[in-house]
Structure 1
Amino acid sequence: MKRILAYRFSAFGDVAMTVPVFIEFLEQNPNVEVIMVSRTQFSALFEGIPNLTFKGINLDDYKGIFGLRKLGEILIQEFKPDYIADLHDVIRTKALNLFFVKKGFKIYKINKGKDEKDELTDIWNLEKHQLKSTSERYADVFRAMNFKLELSHTYRPRGEKSGIGVAPFAQHKGKMLPLEKTFEVVRILAKKNEIYFFGGGPEETTILNSWQEQIPNTTNLAASHTLKEELQKIASLEVMISMDSANMHLASLMGTRCISVWGSTHHYAGFLGYGQSTKDVVQVKDLTCRPCSVFGDKKCYRGDWACLEELNIQKIIDLV
């Protein structure tokens, strides 16, 4: 049995996007084993996948060149891989790659399409088009090893479904609908539906606790559930409402339809949840400056955040 050592350390949503690729790859290549190395706190994402072993690490234990060399030595000794897959391609993994190259390995790494994405996010470029999905970019790494892999781009529903999940937060302002708009969406939908809030961290938890107090039929799950428990709840939802953030990808993993809200980012960059439909994308379509960012981390060059402020929440409600 061939063994592939793969690694991706962040961000949470990008790590989550590797999961459906691994599932389909291992179904189509049952004679292969994958060792996935990532942050320990992401372990619940990879539970129950046949022929996949998750190796959780704390990156603070492997700082600098010498720390990464130590990590490389541990991984070779413990797993004795046949192939190395860098699914991240950042400075940290480039340094780790050098260690493996010196040990005689060929490195297969993701092509993130930086030049294409730079062109896509040029606000003066009016010819926008769909780029290759991140899932396909991950798949290309394994294809380069001469393994077969055809992605279905469909998610797999699980069990009975009821209730609506709402994940109103994102890491960057350019991805996040103004909270007063999301609050109004929840207030309207909660009249006829059970609503479950998802978030993390003290500030988000405080906001969602306040919403729970103000709006009947709502339950705040932020900070009170483990990742595994959150995934189980997401699997039971009829629909998730999420920003362009990790919760969209968690919905895909658990077979739940996701209505996704996009501001300064755009699904053309390849980060739509696996198997999710572009018909469930909510965005301001007539802004030629979109997308101005791949990750939503840039300031609005117009200064008015029209991509978020002008978004009509009725579109979300109609989709539900």
Structure 2
Amino acid sequence: MVTNKTNHILAVRLSAMGDVAMTVPVLLGVVKKYPQVNITVLTKGFTAPIFENIPNVSVFKADVKGRHKGFLGLWKLYKELKALQIDAVADLHNVLRSSILKQFFKLSKIPFIQVDKGRAAKKALVNPERTSFIPLPTTFERYSEVFNKLGYPITISEMGTLSKRPITDSAKSLINPKGKKLIGVAPFAAFSGKMYPLPMMEKVIAALNSTNKYQIVLFGGGKKEIEVLAKWETQFKNCANAAGKLSFSDELSLISNLKLMLAMDSGNAHLAAMFGVPTVTIWGVTHPYAGFSPFNQPKHHALLSDRKKYPAIPTSIYGNKYPDGYDKVMETILPETIVQKINEILKTQD
């Protein structure tokens, strides 16, 4: 543990979006419990809006494809960061890039604590010949341990969520709830092993649309995703497609005002949860035991594929690997089950 109290901490988390979002509850807890602390988050420019208006938290944008690219670029980045009078570094990423930065900060004898990603334990978890199946520490616990070693212990119960943001004019132009509950659907994920089959998701949206009780906002990105969501927007009268129409900051304002988010084991789930939005997640070949469940969401909000039928689940941490015959694991989660769960949660809000 670092014994000398520090006042300016650099928190490093460059990617991915979901992992960046998962830093928010921890940082909120730290600055609330230790109001003398200022935190600068080193992240990519795209994710900077996540940290807007958090007291005592600012963002330094890493230009990893430009002036901070490569070894010399990282040296330049170190010099720029050192000029901010950093007292200690909380490396919440622990990759080659941040490990190089660690060596530079050693030159100034600035404490640099790296997150323990638990790589060996995660490798054991996805081993089909595993001898035990128990939950690993959550990402929030792993992040908090870094601050604990810096002398700022923080527990899960002391972490927090962001306040609702005003819906921007651009976001308002997309929706017309007319007394309906605003719910989000983010049907995509980085890997197919984490994505609910689109024909089945269409059935979910059709069922939600038919109730006429909900305004459904569709989230995604990329040309093919936008094409699918645009089709659903046309097909279902209570659907609005946000993909490709809003800035990231505008999307966050909209997400913060949702009554519920339906998502995969993906970044959108974590974006919703960091605002305290009830979040239903659908899990394929990944599993909550790896520690990536959205913040402060009840266990029953996670809908899991059938491990009795597919005992090798989880087959990978990120959903990018699965054995033959495991491409249809999500078909064990019926659209009716998802719709029932959403209706059940929203009913409690009446």
TM-score (norm 1): 0.95
Q: Which residue of 2 aligns with 1:291?
A: 314
Q: Which residue of 2 aligns with 1:37?
A: 42
Q: Secondary structure at the match of 1:163?
A: strand
Does the 8 A contact of 1:120 with 1:291 survive in 2?
yes
1:8 to 8, 13, 22: 13
Report whether the alignment pairs 1:24 with 2:26: no
Q: Which residue of 1 aligns with 2:198?
A: 179
Q: Which residue of 2 aligns with 1:243?
A: 264
Q: Secondary structure at the match of 1:60?
A: coil
Q: CA deviation at 1:127?
A: 2.3
Q: CA deviation at 1:65?
A: 1.2
Distance 1:195 1:234 in 2: 11
Cα 1:250–1:210 shift into 2, 3 Å = same
Does the 8 A contact of 1:154 with 1:274 survive in 2?
no
Following superposition of structure 1 onto structure 2, how do residues 106-117 of structure 1 map, counting pairs within 5 Å? 106-117=111-122
Q: State the percentage of identical aligned residues.
A: 34
Alignment gaps of 5+ in structure 2? 1-5, 166-178, 343-350
Distance 2:244 2:76 in 1: 34
Does the 8 A contact of 1:154 with 1:276 survive in 2?
no
Q: Which residue of 1 aligns with 2:105?
A: 100
Cα 1:247–1:161 shift into 2, 3 Å = farther
Report whether the alignment pairs 1:68 with 2:74: yes
Q: Which residue of 1 aligns with 2:58?
A: 53
Cα 1:187–1:48 shift into 2, 3 Å = same
Q: CA deviation at 1:155?
A: 4.5
Cα 1:31–1:156 shift into 2, 3 Å = closer
Q: CA deviation at 1:57?
A: 2.3
State the aligned residue count: 318
Does the 8 A contact of 2:285 with 2:305 survive in 1?
no
What letter is aligned with 2:208? L
Does the 8 A contact of 2:21 with 2:270 survive in 1?
yes
Q: Secondary structure at the match of 1:224?
A: coil
Does the 8 A contact of 2:115 with 2:146 survive in 1?
yes
Q: CA deviation at 1:310?
A: 2.6
Alignment gaps of 5+ in structure 1? none
Distance 1:105 1:72 in 2: 12
Distance 1:58 1:128 in 2: 40
Q: Which residue of 2 aligns with 1:162?
A: 181
Distance 2:224 2:129 in 1: 36
Cα 1:14–1:63 shift into 2, 3 Å = same
Report whether the alignment pairs 1:133 with 2:154: no
Does the 8 A contact of 1:161 with 1:238 survive in 2?
no
Distance 2:338 2:63 in 1: 39
Distance 2:25 2:265 in 1: 18
Q: Which residue of 2 aligns with 1:82?
A: 87
Distance 1:306 1:127 in 2: 25
Distance 1:70 1:237 in 2: 41
2:278 to 257, 268, 274: 257
Report whether the alignment pairs 1:214 with 2:235: yes
Does the 8 A contact of 1:161 with 1:235 survive in 2?
no
Deviating 4+ runs (over 6 angstroms)? none
Distance 2:46 2:135 in 1: 32
**Per-residue Cα deviation, 1:202-225 (whole angstroms, up to 9, x for no partner):** 211111001111122100000101
Q: Secondary structure at the match of 2:334?
A: coil
Q: CA deviation at 1:156?
A: 6.3
Q: Which residue of 1 aligns with 2:300?
A: 279
Cα 1:284–1:270 shift into 2, 3 Å = same
Q: Secondary structure at the match of 1:230?
A: helix
Q: Which residue of 1 aligns with 2:328?
A: 306
Q: Secondary structure at the match of 2:61?
A: strand
Distance 2:278 2:292 in 1: 15
